[in-house]
A and B are shown apart, each in its own frame.
Chain A
Amino acid sequence: MLNRLPTSSWSQTTAAHLLNRAGFGGAPEHVAALHELGCEQAVNALLDGKLPFTSKQSAPIRPDWLDGEADPEEEEIKNKLQALRGKRPKANDPSGVKQAEERRKLQRMIRQIANRRSAELNKWWFETLCTTKHPLNEKVTLFWHGHFVSSLEKVRTPRLMFEQNELFRKMGMGDSRELTRRMARNPAMMIYLDLSNSRAEKPNENYARELLELFTLGEGHYTETDIKEAARAFTGMRLNRLTGEVNFSPRNHDNSSKTFLGKTGNLGADDIVEIIFSTDRASEFLSHKLLRYFVIDTPPDDLVNQLAAELRRNEFNIHKTLRALFLSAEFYARPFLRGRIKSPVEFLTQISQHLELDRIPDQLAVRAQRDLGQILFRPPNVAGWPGGKLWINTNTLLNRYNLAGVLSRGHDDPDYAMEVISLTGKGMGKGMSKNRNAKNSKVREAIAKRFPRPDFTTIAPDPLRSDPEKLIESLTFRFFQYPVRKDDHERFLSFARTKSESGKTIDDTELAELIHLMLSTPYYQLT
């Protein structure tokens, strides 16, 4: 059993921890508002998406194709393609060559639409993560995206990736057994793991293998025979790639007897999932994965077992299980506070709130995801983002530091902006190469457009500007929500003092320099 967090332990620090882990972090005022509620109400507010605050940034505009609005141009192409289907003339028939050409042309047009939509989809979700009223729901959606992995790289149809994303959003907080059952007939997953053409005579083992190894049990808890038997149970699902329709084709389903994890019968897809979840191992595996995502990279055994018991007690309901976790003393244990390395998405959503940014420009958001190693809708492989240590190497760490500079300093420090532009070339500096004089008003305007604007008045109101101690105290809570090591505190303080010597107040550019230093630290990479 998990222990309840004593009321006396609820503080700004624990409230911040909850907001960081069960959401995407927040500005100090958000932490304060959550703290006001008390632990239980705060947890409920996160679970139900009823937070006492909303994002400053405006919610993204939904691309209309997300909601199934038929795009006449796309429909026409698809109809033409559909008409060409099945018409496969003999190799030496000259009309065959023409048809093949026509088909390729249509497919190229489909790809162009897909590329445009891939970009729109990424932008939409990224901005949703930054602005959502229900951060926990999005965080859970991102969890499942990294668990039941599919990628645009292989799926190629943004609409199908979006439908899967919506499924995670709608069902992700519910019964995870049901979600697992749904995966076997989810179009994006069927494409990604080759279920769509698995038939009785030739079962494809890809899905069955990953289901057991990566989604539910983990290596060593099943045999190669279990994979083969499960693969037979998953045969017969058919997907029409053009319409996204899924059908069960009894003709292609293997109806003979199978033996899976010791149970024998004419097992179907749902039976396999039921057998999997009847084992304790399934709850332990999911528990470990949830703890890695919400608590600590390598969780202790006893905690894994405790949360596994919660999963079983709550019939694998994620909402109830997370409620127990977030209310527990274990969740707030000292070694776990600021103990996880931020994923790139967490880094970006948190920094955007810490700096009170109006928004991160599209191109920069995409570039940042790529440079930091987490592109939404494109996990690197079926195992998902490995996370933990593997988020960080010397290159991605320097990329984080420099991105922090771009976001905190670029807008108000034209010299810094020009330095970044001269180094990064294209991307950031598009169309600005001719005039590199930062004093030029047109250049300044262009910089202002490309670099997001932190709200320095909110971050450091006037009284703080002439009081280095108070300023550092305030910024430390804003960025770290936890004390920093003594040496670093001294360094921040002495830097602030040199900028406010003899009663001078710190201006925005100097404040930005200080902030860039505070964010260019190993410590800021933790949450």
Chain B
Amino acid sequence: MTPHLSTRRKFLRTGVLGAAATASVPAFLERTFAGMHNAAAASATQFATGKDSPIFVVVQLAGGNDGLNTIVPWGHDDYYTARKKIAIPQNEVTVIDDEIGFAPSIPFIREAYDNGEMTLVQGVGYPNPNRSHFRSTEIWEQATSSDRTARTGWLGRYFDNDCQGADPTVGIALANQQPDAFAAEEKQGISLSAPELYKWIDNDEEHESRNNVFEQLNEPSSDSMTESGASTGNMTAGTVKDTGLKSAADSLDFLEHTALDARVSSDTIGQLIKKSNSRTVYPNTPIGRNLQLISRMIEGGLSTRVYYASHGGFDTHTNQTGSHPIRLGQLDDSLRAFFKDIKAQGNFNRVVLMTFSEFGRRVNENASGGTDHGAAAPLFLLGGGIKPGVVGKHPSLTDLHQGDIKFNVDFRSVYASVLDNWLEGSSEAVLGGKFPKLDLFKKA
């Protein structure tokens, strides 16, 4: 193997850009490395000056979280009338005001509220709600109106629009498949299900020669095959269902760049995961493990702007008094560990976490001690950068739309505030329209 390649490998791992390496790397690599180097340098400065770039963590509560048994309208008799079996008794609710309070299964979220580290947004939804899991999730993730679909997600559009020059780890989803929210034209972030699998598996890490060959094979080529990819004339106009690959050369070029992204990010993440200083014990649940991973990546100084994780099991059609508090409790325990770490790292003021769910649930319980798919529900924002309090009014339990409470905050208003006032982006471009912003952040 030529010696400069092993140097380059070390360089990739350490992120130190040496002049000697510059001279021998292809132009594309040089750009990538320079980009990474700048990002690394920037994040180092950020740590030193305290002017850190903001981080946004999204936690999806998959299945449709029952908002009424999360933030309990204990002051309304209608709640107890509608939910004879599954209502949370008044004496178990931690009161926020004479109308609402916290379910007993989320003590950490309640403490965060008491400490001025949490914002509750009430009655979040959208017009003409859809009650299909997949469709409503898509609506939330693509941030379209309910009669439209888009090819990209709201976070993907943010990466494309506002994160030019960022490296592929600008968005990291802890998921097997890329969430719809990350779908982008250019910069879709990365998705990984398990960091230990997010690499080219070989049985011998020290086997330099095999690994070197692998790395060379996965570099964009200098002797590209472009001669095979002469353009073939005008491209189909107005058809949006293809993804823009017109020839073998286009396809190979795209694959080579993804391969490089994969290698670079898998090296980075592999290293980061190993060197965490945290001793915090996280719950041994998927959401616990994923939030731990996110905390380590933040601690490691990745230049990632958005992390995404999902917590499932909220589709509580039957016997929900058993399952729902467990799911909420798993979330709550994991958040407690996560924010303990984030505070210890000194990153509390640059991290905001938001929960969302595709819909809430019916006001009336069903015959099986559960609830069916509904519409509007509350969501939480936690972190040092939020302006604490309660935003929006609790929706009426009697003025219903097909048995569901009506939304009074469009979720795209929440997104617009996050994009403009937290992520330093441009919500109009990302959301394709103007949505009234909410007063959610200190720095706004």
Interface residues of A (CB under 8 A from B): 97, 100, 104, 153-154, 218-220, 288-289, 292, 296-304, 333-341, 370-371, 373, 381, 383, 386-390, 392-395, 397-398, 401-402, 405, 413, 415-416, 418-420, 423-424, 485-488, 491, 495, 498, 513, 517, 520-523, 525-526
Task: Name the contact of B246 in the complex, choosing from A220, A297, A405, A415 (C-beta under 8 A).
Answer: A297
Bound: A393/B184 CA distance, A: 11
Known: A104-B368, A419-B203, A423-B196. A296 touches B254 (CB 8 A): no
Extra A-B contacts (4), CB below 8 Å, given A297-B245, A416-B201: A154-B132, A389-B244, A401-B200, A487-B223
Contact A402–B197 (Cβ < 8 Å):
yes
Known: A393-B258, A394-B266, A402-B201. A301 touches B248 (CB 8 A): no
Question: Does B19 touch A at the CB level, under 8 Å?
Answer: no
- Collect the chain A residues with CB atoms within 8 Å of residue B252's CB: 522-523, 526
Q: Which B residues, 185 to 230, have Cβ-Cβ distances below 8 Å to chain A?
A: 188, 190-194, 196-204, 209-210, 213-214, 216-218, 221-225, 228-230
Of B168, B217, B225, the most chain A CB neighbours within 10 A belong to B217
Of A296, A381, A393, the most chain B CB neighbours within 10 A belong to A393
Chain A residue with the shortest CB-CB distance to B207: A513
Of A297, A300, A398, A517, the most chain B CB neighbours within 10 A belong to A398
Contact A522–B259 (Cβ < 8 Å):
yes
Question: Does B120 touch A at the CB level, under 8 Å?
Answer: no
- Collect the chain B residues with CB atoms within 8 Å of residue A513's CB: 210
Known: A402-B200, A418-B203. A520 touches B265 (CB 8 A): no
Q: Which of B87-95, B231-239, B326-334 contacts A (4 or more CB under 8 A)?
A: B231-239
- Collect the chain B residues with CB atoms within 8 Å of residue A383's CB: 149, 241
- Collect the chain B residues with CB atoms within 8 Å of residue A521's CB: 217-218, 259
Task: Name the contact of A485 in the complex, choosing from B149, B193, B223, B230 (C-beta under 8 A).
Answer: B223
Q: Which of B41-49, B63-71, B175-183, B423-431 contacts A (4 or more CB under 8 A)?
A: B175-183
22 A–B contact pairs at CB < 8 A? A297-B245, A298-B244, A300-B236, A335-B228, A338-B248, A339-B229, A339-B250, A389-B244, A389-B245, A390-B243, A394-B191, A394-B265, A395-B262, A398-B266, A402-B200, A416-B201, A423-B196, A486-B223, A487-B216, A517-B210, A523-B255, A526-B251
- Collect the chain B residues with CB atoms within 8 Å of residue A302's CB: 233-234
Chain B residue with the shortest CB-CB distance to A521: B217
Bound: A302/B240 CA distance, A: 17
Contact A485–B213 (Cβ < 8 Å):
no
- Collect the chain B residues with CB atoms within 8 Å of residue A304's CB: 236
Bound: A336/B191 CA distance, A: 29
Contact A389–B246 (Cβ < 8 Å):
no
Main secondary structure of the interface of B (DSSP, over half): loop
Chain A residue with the shortest CB-CB distance to B221: A485
- Collect the chain B residues with CB atoms within 8 Å of residue A423's CB: 194, 196-197, 201
Rounded to whole Å, the gap between the CB of A337 and the closest CB of chain B is: 6
Question: Does B341 touch A at the CB level, under 8 Å?
Answer: no
Contact B209–A393 (Cβ < 8 Å):
no
Bound: A218/B188 CA distance, A: 25
